[in-house]
Structure 1
Amino acid sequence: MGGSILCLGEAVIDFIPVRAEGGAAYRPCLGGSSYNVARALGRLGVPTEYGCAVSTDLFGDQFVEGLAQSRVGRHFLTRIDAPSTLGFVSLDQGEPAYAFFDQGAADRICCDMPSVGALAGIDTLHFGSIALIREPAATAYETLFLREAGGRRLISFDPNIRASHVKDAPAYRARLERLLSRADIIKISGADLDWLHPGLAHDEAARNWLAHGAKLVVITHGKAGVSGWSQGSHAHAAALSVEVIDTVGAGDSFMAGLLAGLHERDCLERETLLRLNSQALHEVLAYGQRVASQTCTRRGADSPWRKEIMT
């Protein structure tokens, strides 16, 4: 198996709507795309680190405790005397919609990225979501991404676009194009791909990214399942039928399941990804679906443990 995966990005307190006596209420849950991926990977038994700044407030304490409970390393975590990012979630449309409150938040002002030497022992870097929208951290993350792209470490990328949070769409699209052209593993939802490239066929987008150097492209389609393309193979895995509580964190759980499946097969290297056959690709896609479906049966981004997936 490969070395550790470092997940870089935001940590957000998701306020999830719940029914309560006297009317609607919100339940605070640990969240944030990269934070969710890190916790899910730790629970799946993959050596994982999380890198970002979190607040010294009570929510920051909960973020740190959540990582420890999920067996995620904190060597790249810093604490800043600044507030935590809060995200209020709406589930009225089926897919979660978010309103973020993050002015001056610790994870938004975080610009201290790890040096080359500090990354010894890290074999894969995972990036994505609003961490690449919010300045000044967004520029710092992009600089690290491009510094490491094409080097010894794999780059995993899930744009996980929150379009309502984008203030300068042309600049953001240009940033995503720069990063997508340099990533090794790309996972993107069909809805995000349609926002980024309206009218472009999904298989054509996958072929374009593979032509630019990606080793694996995965596109999720919700109830229609998930498709994956490598340089020499293609596979599809169906969605699983479960009783859905909410879909918060489902995409992040799928991302973690995908990386965990590749890790267990010693495929988190460029050469092994190039040799990924259709059967192995189907297996890792299906594993990701199992992890995501379990998350959908729980409130918030509460991903399953490995033992729950194996039974």
Structure 2
Amino acid sequence: MIVVSGEALMDVFDAGPTATGQRLDARIGGSPLNVAIGLARLGQPVGFFGAIGRGFLGERLLQALQQEGVDTTAVSRVAAPTTLGLVGLSAQGVADYAFYGEGAADRQLHPADLARVPAAAAYHFGSYAMVVEPVGGTLRTLARQLRQQRPEALVSYDVNVRTNVEPDIARWHAVLADMLPCTHLLKLSDEDLHHLHPGADPAALAQQWQAHGVALVVLTRGAAGATAYTAAGPVHVAPVATALVDTVGAGDTFHAALLAALAERGALSAAAVAALRPEDWHPLLQFAAQAAALTCSRRGADLPRREELPALA
């Protein structure tokens, strides 16, 4: 099993004006929730560890996870509203978010909830849940516990910087520094990199992070493809051509597909990931890029199912 931790929310899209206001289209979302559903759709056993509200939007989020086959026994139900992420799209389909979540349900995950976390082969963390409290402290505690008590488990982390949730970049730096010794697979987008280290050399940064124990650093670059930095050198995959609708969920799809590909190869462990050679990574990254391209061809975070993707090369 893969346990995914973090926020679950509603992405709210502008659906055009009405006679008396504006029509909105709310869809299940949140980067970790997307990863969990993406893994389930790719045939991987997956559980979700996070807090979800008891209101009608929270009920819809829980229903969506369960309908997709995600194990929800580790979900904490709380009496708090569901975070809303208002999504605006540029003419090129690139998403811009505004989050309304202060005091919302996805932040209400506490250390006592760690007793709910099941044993698993891999654990995925990500996005703004890592930098807001109390959920961030709870998840970082879990990551440290895994390092000490389950060192064989694979830990992946998607930084996914959201300055409209936490504008203090120093906070993002501090959390990344805290997570580096616990993380085997680290993913960032080129936008994340620009926020954290504008103008920096990605290869040099990857080398610094690997000195803390990270086995693989993946940098996704949208229309420029993706590059993975291994201890033995970089691996680049070109973007997959697609009829772009929007980029919502593309990074989440890439990460879910990369974890699924590792599972299919029998490499879902800290030791196995560290042992993979650059030539081993190329088909795995290509599979992830193909999955992300499919999501980009559809409205919102509608992640692909396993039958929509080719067999691993």
Measured against the shorter chain, the TM-score band is: over 0.9
Partner secondary structure for residue 156 of structure 1: strand
Deviation for aligned residue 1:230: 2.2
Tell me which amino acid in the other structure corresponds to 2:239. Answer: A
Deviation for aligned residue 1:123: 1.4
Alpha-carbon deviations, 1:248-275, whole Å to 9, x = none?
1110011001101111101112222122
Total equivalences in the alignment: 306
Residue number in structure 1 paired with 2:188: 188
Tell me whether 1:101 sits opposite 2:100 in the alignment.
Answer: yes
Partner secondary structure for residue 76 of structure 1: coil
Are the equivalent residues in 2 in contact too, given 1:54–1:80 (CA < 8 A)?
Answer: yes
Residue number in structure 1 paired with 2:152: 152
Deviation for aligned residue 1:231: 2.4
2-structure distance, mates of 1:203, 1:178: 20
Tell me whether 1:32 sits opposite 2:18 in the alignment.
Answer: no
Partner secondary structure for residue 74 of structure 2: strand
Alignment of 1:199-214 (within 5 A): 199-214=199-214
Alignment of 1:258-297 (within 5 A): 258-297=258-297
Alignment of 1:43-54 (within 5 A): 43-54=41-52
Partner secondary structure for residue 114 of structure 1: helix
Are the equivalent residues in 2 in contact too, given 1:17–1:25 (CA < 8 A)?
Answer: yes
2-structure distance, mates of 1:20, 1:149: 51
Deviation for aligned residue 1:283: 0.6
Alpha-carbon deviations, 1:17-49, whole Å to 9, x = none?
234666863210100010000000000001100
Partner secondary structure for residue 209 of structure 1: helix
Residue number in structure 2 paired with 1:84: 82
2-structure distance, mates of 1:236, 1:207: 16
Are the equivalent residues in 2 in contact too, given 1:16–1:88 (CA < 8 A)?
Answer: yes
Are the equivalent residues in 2 in contact too, given 1:59–1:84 (CA < 8 A)?
Answer: yes
Q: What TM-score do the two structures reach when normalised by structure 2? A: 0.92
Residue number in structure 1 paired with 2:198: 198
2-structure distance, mates of 1:294, 1:18: 22
Residue number in structure 1 paired with 2:231: 231
Tell me whether 1:41 sits opposite 2:39 in the alignment.
Answer: yes
Residue number in structure 2 paired with 1:18: 15
Partner secondary structure for residue 26 of structure 2: strand
1-structure distance, mates of 2:288, 2:22: 33
Are the equivalent residues in 1 in contact too, given 2:131–2:171 (CA < 8 A)?
Answer: no
Residue number in structure 1 paired with 2:126: 128
Q: What TM-score do the two structures reach when normalised by structure 1? A: 0.92
Deviation for aligned residue 1:210: 1.6
1-structure distance, mates of 2:71, 2:124: 15
Residue number in structure 2 paired with 1:217: 217
Tell me which amino acid in the other structure corresponds to 1:268. Answer: L
1-structure distance, mates of 2:35, 2:124: 9
Are the equivalent residues in 2 in contact too, given 1:43–1:305 (CA < 8 A)?
Answer: yes
2-structure distance, mates of 1:175, 1:118: 21
Deviation for aligned residue 1:165: 1.7
2-structure distance, mates of 1:237, 1:20: 41
Tell me which amino acid in the other structure corresponds to 2:7. Answer: E
Are the equivalent residues in 2 in contact too, given 1:128–1:158 (CA < 8 A)?
Answer: yes
Are the equivalent residues in 2 in contact too, given 1:232–1:274 (CA < 8 A)?
Answer: no
Residue number in structure 2 paired with 1:119: 118
Residue number in structure 1 paired with 2:300: 300
Return 5+ residue gaps in structure 2 as ranges: none
Return 5+ residue gaps in structure 1 as ranges: none
Residue number in structure 2 paired with 1:162: 162
**Inter-CA distance 236–257: structure 2 relative to 1 (3 Å threshold):** same
Partner secondary structure for residue 142 of structure 2: helix
